[in-house]
Structure 1
């Protein structure tokens, strides 16, 4: 494992990866916390900001293009931003079930599944984890 390929990447790619990795770590911590407490809410806001940074930064990463500068990851980024809004709205409206469902869907779709695709050969994170 070597972070050299990531350090050689453009700044926006580094920011994107750093925020995604930090969000994964924070996810594990938040899921272990007692829900509804101040710490859960505070860290939850931090997680939402990190996920928004991941989604927004993707619009400046244009390696896989389908329509102009946009590719399938950009559609996921739009869905992520909408889901973040919905998850926060559900929490603020005290709809715990909806909040939990949306946030867990984001963890699965935007972190686990999308993160898995970053490990495909030819991708920067593949080179980081498995070598060039």
Structure 2
């Protein structure tokens, strides 16, 4: 793994990728660790802030342009920003099943599936993981 392509990217991509990788690690810990504890709530709040950062920073990244400067991935960011407060409200109102469902869907959809997409050839994370050199850039 070579992080040089990531750290050579624009700042928005660096913030986006680092927040996503951290959220993935913390999310994995959250899924495996005991629920309802102080560490679970603390890590959960950090995870929510990281996910909001991932979603918000995506609007500064315009490398795939399907709808003007935006893509379907930006729609996923809107869903994420809408779903995060819903999941938090479920937890605060002790609706554990609904909270778990929304959080697992966000983890799988917004991190795992979208994260796998970033490993496609021509993407910066492809270069980080597989060590190839490709050209990256904004839409034209």
- Is the TM value for this pair above 0.5? yes
- Tell me the C-alpha RMSD between the 2 structures: 0.8
Q: CA deviation at 1:28?
A: 1.6
CA shift for structure 1 position 43? 0.7
Moved over 4 A (4+): none
User: Offset of 1:131 from its aligned partner?
Assistant: 1.3
Alpha-carbon deviation of 1:49?
Answer: 0.1
The answer to whether the aligner puts 1:88 opposite 2:83 as a matched pair is: no
Is residue 67 of structure 2 the alignment partner of residue 67 of structure 1?
yes
Give the unaligned 5+ runs of structure 1. Answer: none
By how many angstroms is 1:99 displaced? Answer: 0.2
Q: Distance in 2 between matches of 1:34 and 1:5?
A: 37
User: How many Å separate the matches in 1 of 2:32 and 2:121?
Assistant: 33
Q: Secondary structure at the match of 1:61?
A: coil
Normalised to the residue count of structure 2, the TM-score between the two structures is 0.92
- 1:37 pairs with 2:40: no
Distance 1:21 1:41 in 2: 20
Shift of 1:32: 2.3
- Quick one: distance in 2 between partners of 1:20 and 1:2? 17
Q: How many residues align?
A: 132
More helix per residue: 1
Q: Distance in 2 between matches of 1:76 and 1:32?
A: 25
Q: Unpaired runs of 5+ in structure 2?
A: 133-140
> Equivalent residue of 2:62, what SS?
coil
User: 1:68 Cα shift?
Assistant: 1.7
How many angstroms apart in 1 are the aligned matches of 2:102 and 2:92?
A: 13
